[in-house]
Amino acid sequence: MIPRRPAAILLAVTLFSLPAAEARPWLGKELLPAREAPPIELQDQNGAPFQLSSLRGKAVLVAFGFTCCPNICPVMLSELAAARRALPPEQRALVDVVFISVDERDTAESLKQYLPLFDNSFTGLTGPREAIASVVKSYGGYFRKDERGSHAIDHSTDVYLIDPAGKLRAVFQRSQLGETAALAADIARVLEKP
């Protein structure tokens, strides 16, 4: 009988057994050529102005959603938190997750209460509907309210990886985010070779 090993050890073994970054295919869709990430200027969960450019020097994962989302957003944020935790501490400190609410009912305070359920380091953003719509469109995403009068919002679920130089490097489909080791390896790749 094979003894059980803690999940962290298995994850580390998986990460280190992956082929070299240059030889290994990306989990997400690599964007070639890498291009400047569209700017983001909104308000963070502390009520302070936020600019994406303030995160230069870090890898950034940008996701869209809302705090009352019943299933997709909580799972997505949990998977992003798992990938961040899978990185060595020195790399983990250089990774930010930016969650942009597409729901006008979400306030800075509601984001401040919601995001620590997944990871205390996550940044939540809100702002005027027009500003949010402009950011979502610039990343190729979409969102719209459910026409039946419910509180549901249909929105794109892709996650965008920006490297420390501010270049948009890859896009992950929602279905890929559960591949923790491979997602962490893609994040590590842009930290090692921006």
The string of pLDDT tens digits covering residues 153-177 is: 888 899 999 999 999 999 999 999 9
Residue ranges and CATH numbers for the domains of the chain are: 36-192 (3.40.30.10)
Identity at 90, one-letter amino acid code: E
Q: What is the distance between the alpha carbons of residues 16 and 6, in angstroms, rounded to a whole number?
A: 16
Q: What is the distance between the alpha carbons of residues 17 and 149, in angstroms, rounded to a whole number?
A: 50
Name the nearest CA neighbour of 106 among 164, 40, 151.
Answer: 151
Of 15 and 42, the structure prediction assigns the larger pLDDT to 42
- Tokens 């700017």 label which residue? 39
Q: What is the distance between the alpha carbons of residues 101 and 147, in angstroms, rounded to a whole number?
A: 19
pLDDT for 91-130, tens place per residue?
999 999 999 999 988 999 999 999 999 999 999 999 999 9
pTM, two decimals, is 0.85
Would you say how long the chain is, in residues? 194
